[in-house]
């Protein structure tokens, strides 16, 4: 477990300055936030471990901490919460759900070793990477293909693809660590990687066998930034069937923010000096997504209906999930975007599905920062 806690996923650090010419642009997003708190939970979600995800039907999965500090997964379907606990596990988090309702995630056994899991109507299945010391499964697409990551006996992290029962390792070229986090119906995979020196983190896209890299414009890529949540793409978590990508970044204000990256066909360019590895740099439009008055925000999942989920830390120090219904999904009676609420960075939460019980129990948050895949910085042994 000591090796497992050494590494941080590629968390992006960005500013809104110094946009690379003809590479990336920024816009605002219109929509409405809804806060999501599991009933009676001390915390719902946490950056960037127990996050939320959403399928095409609007069903949401995530994680929460109960009053004793124990972590559980949950499903939110048709306004009803259901707890998800892997049998005999000491900790469970649900991380992804596909249109068929299959759920993937991670659990800790009694020895504090983490495993990936798949939950189908017939029950749970455990998924472990090859010769892995720890494994997590983060996303599942409509075909049942799953992505996640695992650490080997040397403490190095690799991305993991599970397709038709076959496990394939994913390593970004020349990276010291790779984390696979999202996959869409086309088989496009997104995640993060840490460079060969172990000091800088970036987001990546793997599409049709070709890697592309990206950072939020002006990113400070050092993983030590933003209280050790830094990097060029702090948390690249999901990709929908239209190719839109969500995650988080660390800004010049030393705070984590959510982002949405939208792209058009051909939005990429080959990197100078990496032609041998066939690595390209993504082009596209970045949108910052912040929950109003939050200490920090991050986005972690999206579907093709314009719905985005994520989380935020409120001023009292507690964590909450959110659903952002964008103008792609929310229209007025004339079929036009309701612009009465503009720019997600200035939207107030107008509805709460459930209200969490107040509490000061931070045991789960401390435990997961010590133990999970988004744990200690790489320089802490």
Q: Six-digit token pair at 301?
A: 């999942």
Which tens digits make up the pLDDT trace of 335-346?
454 433 333 332
pLDDT band at 226 (very low <50, low <70, confident <90, very high): confident
- How are the residues of the chain apportioned to helix, strand and coil, as percentages rounded to the nearest 5? 5, 45, 50
Report whether pLDDT(90) > 90. yes
Residue that is written with structure tokens 């590629």 in the block: 10
| Cα–Cα dist 34/256, whole Å | 20
Give the Cβ contact number of residue 351 at 10 Å. 9
221: helix, strand or coil: coil
pLDDT of residue 266: 65
Write out the two tokens for 116: 């990936």
Q: 34-48, 67-81, 344-358 — which one is most confidently predicted on average?
A: 67-81
Give percent above pLDDT 70 in the chain: 72
pLDDT score at 253? 82
Q: Distance between CA 283 and CA 285 in Å, rounded? A: 7
How confident is the model over 272-292, as a mean pLDDT? Answer: 78
Amino acid 49: pLDDT: 61
Q: Write out pLDDT tens, residues 18-69.
A: 222 223 344 556 678 999 999 999 999 876 566 899 999 999 999 999 988 8
pLDDT digits (tens, 9 = 90+) for 104-132: 999 999 999 999 999 999 999 999 999 99
β-strands 24-27, 123-127 pairing: unpaired
Q: What is the mean pLDDT of residues 274-286?
A: 76
Q: What is the pLDDT of residue 117?
A: 97
Is pLDDT of 282 > 60?
Answer: yes
| Domains of the chain with CATH codes | 4-370 (2.120.10.30)
Percent of the chain with pLDDT over 90: 51
102 phi and psi, to 5 degrees?
Answer: -75, 135
Which pair of tokens denotes residue 258?
């959510």
Distance (Å, rounded) from C-alpha 91 to C-alpha 292?
31
Q: Say which residue, 271 or 189, is predicted with more confidence.
A: 189
Rounded to whole angstroms, how far apart are CA atoms 299 and 239?
11
pLDDT reading at 280 higher than 90:
no
Which of the residue ranges 18-32, 42-56, 179-193, 315-329 has the most confident prediction, judged by mean pLDDT?
179-193
User: What confidence score (pLDDT) does residue 352 get?
Assistant: 29
pLDDT at 374: 38
376 pLDDT band, cuts 50/70/90, is very low
The mean per-residue pLDDT over the stretch 134-153 comes to 96
Backbone angles phi, psi at 345, to 5 degrees: -75, -10
> What's the chain's average pLDDT?
77
Average pLDDT over residues 334-358: 33
Residue with tokens 């693809």: 161
Tokens found for residue 205: 């896209």
Give CA 262 to chain center in angstroms: 16
pTM comes to 0.81
- What is the pLDDT averaged over residues 318-331? 77
Residue 367 is predicted with a pLDDT of 35
């Amino acid at each position: 477990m000591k090796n497992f806690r050494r590494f941080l996923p590629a968390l992006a650090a960005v500013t809104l300055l110094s946009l690379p010419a003809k590479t990336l642009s920024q816009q605002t997003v219109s929509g409405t936030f809804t806060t999501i708190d599991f009933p009676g939970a001390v915390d719902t979600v946490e950056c960037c471990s127990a996050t939320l995800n959403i399928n095409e039907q609007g069903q949401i999965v995530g994680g929460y901490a109960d009053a004793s500090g124990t972590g559980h997964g949950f499903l939110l379907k048709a306004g009803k919460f259901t707890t998800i606990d892997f049998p005999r596990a000491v900790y469970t988090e649900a991380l992804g759900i596909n249109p068929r309702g299959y759920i993937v995630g991670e659990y800790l056994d009694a020895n504090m070793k983490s495993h990936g899991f798949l939950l189908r109507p017939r029950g749970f299945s455990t998924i472990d990477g090859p010769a892995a010391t720890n494994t997590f499964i983060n996303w599942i697409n409509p075909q049942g293909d799953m992505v996640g990551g695992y650490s080997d006996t040397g403490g190095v992290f690799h991305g993991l693809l599970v397709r038709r029962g076959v496990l394939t390792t994913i390593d970004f070229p020349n990276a010291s660590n790779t984390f696979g986090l999202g996959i869409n119906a086309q088989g496009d995979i997104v995640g993060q990687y840490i460079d060969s020196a172990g000091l800088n983190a970036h987001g990546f896209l793997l599409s049709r066998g070709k890697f592309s890299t990206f950072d939020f414009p002006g990113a400070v890529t050092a993983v030590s930034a933003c209280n050790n949540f830094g990097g060029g793409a702090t948390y690249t978590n999901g990709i929908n069937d239209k190719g839109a990508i969500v995650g988080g970044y660390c800004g010049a204000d030393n705070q984590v923010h959510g982002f949405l990256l939208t792209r058009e066909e051909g939005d990429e360019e080959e990197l100078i000096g990496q032609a041998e590895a066939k690595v390209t740099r993504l082009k596209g439009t970045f949108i910052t997504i912040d929950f109003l008055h939050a200490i920090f925000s991050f986005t972690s999942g999206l579907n093709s209906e314009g719905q985005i989920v994520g989380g935020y830390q409120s001023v009292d120090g507690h964590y909450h999930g959110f659903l952002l219904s964008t103008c792609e999904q929310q229209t007025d009676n004339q079929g036009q975007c309701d612009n009465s609420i503009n720019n997600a960075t200035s939207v107030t939460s107008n509805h709460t599905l459930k209200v969490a019980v107040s509490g000061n129990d931070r045991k789960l948050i401390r435990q997961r920062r010590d133990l999970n895949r988004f744990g200690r910085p790489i320089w802490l042994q």
